Structure 1
Amino acid sequence: MNIFHSTKVEESLFKNRIRTILNLVRNRIDGSEITILKSTGITMNLRFGKIENIEFHNGSSLTVTVFNNNKTGTASSSDLSMNGIKKIIEGAISISKNTNSDPFSSLPEIELLAFKMEKIDLFYPWIFELDKVKNFLKLAEEAAFNFDKRIINTEGISFNACITTKVFGNTHNMIQAYHTSQYSLSSCVVAKDKFDMQRDYEYSYVRDMKEIQNPIWIGKKSAEKALSRLSPIKIKTIKSSVILNPDVAASIFFHFSEAIKGINVYKNSTFLLNYLGKKIFPHWLNIQEDPNLKKGIASKPFDDEGVKTKFQYIIENGILNTWLLNSYSGRRLGKLSTGNSGGIHNWKICSTLKLNFKELLKMMNSGLLITELLGSGTNLITGDFSYGAVGFWVSNGEIQYPVNEITISGNLKNLFLNIEGISNDDIDKRNSIQCGSVLVSNIQISGS
């Protein structure tokens, strides 16, 4: 059966299931919301030319949340039969009767819901054959091993394809659905010389299989990155400027997104508690959220509560414009939901400075280019951070040699204000946070 036709049939079936549930609960509770997720896909891993494993997955999940007398109950199951549906409903209602009353707990405001939603291009079904996928992986692995004789091992070449259907409904008579596709290819290899062994990886992650990186390029890039890390040199403890590569920079901005989540604000558990409307970043830095981005990795027409997503400035001219709110945290803070139940949607880190990566290196002149952080060392309450780091020492604006066994530390508030530039020619679009490399001054680096 054609995949597109199959998903449309499933969408119709799931919508009917949701209508059935709404009819069964409508006169028993104050409100309810229902989510059905269907995911179909394949994962294939190859090592030394042989398939290590192939996993097919084809599963559905149903989640029912009920609100009654300001009490909430949620139950989930993979059983979408009528008997299973009735058990889930009874489970959710039973849970709601045994929870505490909370005046902030109810469905989102009806005017915020996505009764009319944007049509976003997120669904690109691809018909694949196992032999074709296997050859695809072999090309990547062979390219890595042929790149240099010092590539002596692989941790595997992996491919993943997944088609997802999401259908959502609630007792405000909203029933909507959308479909997504995602494809990924990754290569992780090990390089060795006389004195050292290092590993590194490269990957591609897209909505449309036609846009996935060439497997030969993936293999060569993973080999090149592993080789570049061989025989690192230890550096002394100093304070220095650093450049965070796009992947590392995205992880730092993710901590910022966590710090402005409504739940952390109303619980007083964020270092940015009193910073709404205040300057956090340099005046030339903006953060836009674009949930309707075509083929965006984190695009959504509505959030996990059915609230319609919208374009918004999170940071404008360095100033914090908004918290990230679902309906519950919004009520706790006297505000409306911002459509962020379930997370963020395609953050674009924008700069009015026009710099490329080479210019960023020249600006720094001497310092550390960080390509990987180790550990989870951020305290959201204080903003303090401490991470193991891997990267390259830069002198006279040129990359000199690899560095490891170091730690960087400081406070995120200072780090944000000390951002001096962002490159615009190496923006990583594989994440929910899209940014280029980021130059930051005055970072503590602990070495030998």
Structure 2
Amino acid sequence: MTQTPETLCHALIDAARKAGADAADAMAAAGSSLSIEVREGRLEHAERSEGTDLGLRVFLGQRQALVSSSDSRPETIAAMAERAVAMAREAPEDPYTGLAAPDQLAQNWDLAALDLNDPTADPAPAALQEDALAAEAACQAIDGISQVQSAGAGYGRSSVYLATSNGFSGGYTRTGRSISCTGIAGTGTGMERDYDGDSRTYQSDLRSAEEIGRSAGERTVARMNARRPKTGTYPVLFDERISASLIGHLLSAVNGAAIARGSSWLQDSLGQQVLPTHLSVIEDPHRPRIAGSRPFDGEGLATRRRAIVEDGTLTGWTLDLASARKLGMESTANAARGIGSVPSPSNWNVALTQGDQSRADLIAGMGTGLLVTSLIGSTINPNTGDYSRGASGFWVENGAIAYPVNECTIAGNLRDMLMRIVPANDARSYLSRVVPSLLVEGMTLAGN
């Protein structure tokens, strides 16, 4: 009989105790996925996968070790526990490692409110292929598209379970459905490509394949005949598709692991202003039907809504148990982990305060500058916040888009950039990171 992730976790804990572990936690993840890709109206690639993966972490005093396997036979579980305990005996002591205290563990949660599992039947391969073909056809129909590089659709269902030797036991199931398309226009050195895609928890929330394919084609054609802009200092508008990367750099800088290492450009900024005073960054892991939602973190602590930045002021770090102990603080229940990795701090669903202007309004008011729709490469100094990235997009003159541009570099300092951001009101509320288009005044642009 097939064992559930719950029974597998408890079997791992029992085996760890029998092997001599002082404490242990276990994770089990079971899932299935199906992906379809088409090309030129025919099936190009189909892949289906199913599996169960197990992870066991054991503690001997202040020593820890972790092992993982995809084999769930009883003899393998016993061998995993024995191996983990043997490894822990040889590991160096870590004064910050260990399970959460029993009174820190999540006790009750409402999975139904999170709505992470689409109860409708798993889509058939033919349904996914139909979506991929529709997206490809819609993209190919756009005048100027020379070919569709890829069009695909996918579905996945995964269940994860976590148990600890000191009383925590819980799990949840989530689903995901996606469609994507990438178009190509032009040839040789004049070739351009762009994409569109959508991924949702519920099939019924997904944008239509035709809309995704058409958008991918239109975005691709709009990039044709790009040129390099002039070198200088200009306002730069980060399109909503890529603006979340700026907030991502902020989140990386307030990550407890970076703070504990002393390698963050926001190291001494707790309680200080890091954004304009009317802006906040809110983390909410309980938003229904959102990919980043979860009732508890990777160490069994109850997740909760919190302000990372409130009215422009940095209010706290993002912490798991180990980084919190290093800093003499309490965990913010932000431990993320994989089957084969120990917990580390990570953010869940994050939203930046939206503005009261549209992207078009910001373009109209920026005069001459750059609308960035794509970023490539990066040179980010984690200690100073110095920022430099390759960019492409559209040149703006007299408040209107004039022509596409590429092969340029934008540069600045993240601390200064984030203090000058002006948000639009175009963020997509169904994303895990809800960040609108962001205007940054006075960035250095290297082009011609």
Q: TM-score band (shorter)?
A: over 0.9
Distance 1:157 1:430, change over 3 A: farther
Equivalent position SS for 1:445? strand
2:180 corresponding residue in structure 1: 186
For 1:131, give the aligned amino acid.
A
2:16/2:85 contact within 8 Å kept? no
Give, in angstroms, the shift of residue 55 of structure 1: 0.5
Distance 1:297 1:355, change over 3 A: same
For 2:423, give the aligned amino acid.
I
2:139/2:145 contact within 8 Å kept? yes
> Equivalences for 1:41-440 in 2 at 5 Å?
41-119=33-111, 120-125=114-119, 126-148=121-143, 150-192=144-186, 196-342=190-336, 343-351=346-354, 353-419=355-421, 421-424=422-425, 426-429=426-429, 431-440=431-440
* Length-normalised TM-score, structure 2: 0.94
1:249/1:438 contact within 8 Å kept? yes
Give, in angstroms, the shift of residue 431 of structure 1: 4.3
Deviations 1:279-302 (A, max 9, x none): 101001100001000011211111
Q: Distance in 2 between matches of 1:108 and 1:359?
A: 49
Deviations 1:379-428 (A, max 9, x none): 21221111110011112222111011100111111111111x2111x213
Give, in angstroms, the shift of residue 338 of structure 1: 0.6
Q: Greater CA deviation, 192-201 or 289-298?
A: 192-201
Equivalent position SS for 1:53? strand
Give, in angstroms, the shift of residue 244 of structure 1: 0.4
Give, in angstroms, the shift of residue 349 of structure 1: 0.7
Q: Distance in 1 between matches of 2:428 and 2:102?
A: 36
Segments of 5+ residues of structure 2 without an aligned counterpart are 337-345
Q: Distance in 2 between matches of 1:439 and 1:44?
A: 38
The question of 1:442 aligning with 2:437 is answered: no
Give, in angstroms, the shift of residue 236 of structure 1: 1.3
Equivalent position SS for 1:26? helix
Q: Distance in 2 between matches of 1:270 and 1:140?
A: 43
2:339 corresponding residue in structure 1: none
* Length-normalised TM-score, structure 1: 0.94
Give, in angstroms, the shift of residue 80 of structure 1: 1.0
Deviations 1:142-200 (A, max 9, x none): 1111121x211121101111100001100121110100001111000101289832110
Equivalent position SS for 1:100? coil
For 1:135, give the aligned amino acid.
E
For 2:353, give the aligned amino acid.
C
Q: Distance in 1 between matches of 2:54 and 2:135?
A: 38
For 1:140, give the aligned amino acid.
A
Percent identity, please: 28
Q: Distance in 2 between matches of 1:365 and 1:346?
A: 34
1:195/1:231 contact within 8 Å kept? no
2:279/2:353 contact within 8 Å kept? yes
2:35/2:155 contact within 8 Å kept? yes
2:15/2:77 contact within 8 Å kept? no
2:352/2:434 contact within 8 Å kept? yes
After TM superposition, what 4+ stretches of structure 1 lie above 4 angstroms from structure 2?
none
Equivalent position SS for 1:323? coil
Q: Greater CA deviation, 48-57 or 20-29?
A: 20-29
RMSD: 1.7
Segments of 5+ residues of structure 1 without an aligned counterpart are 1-8
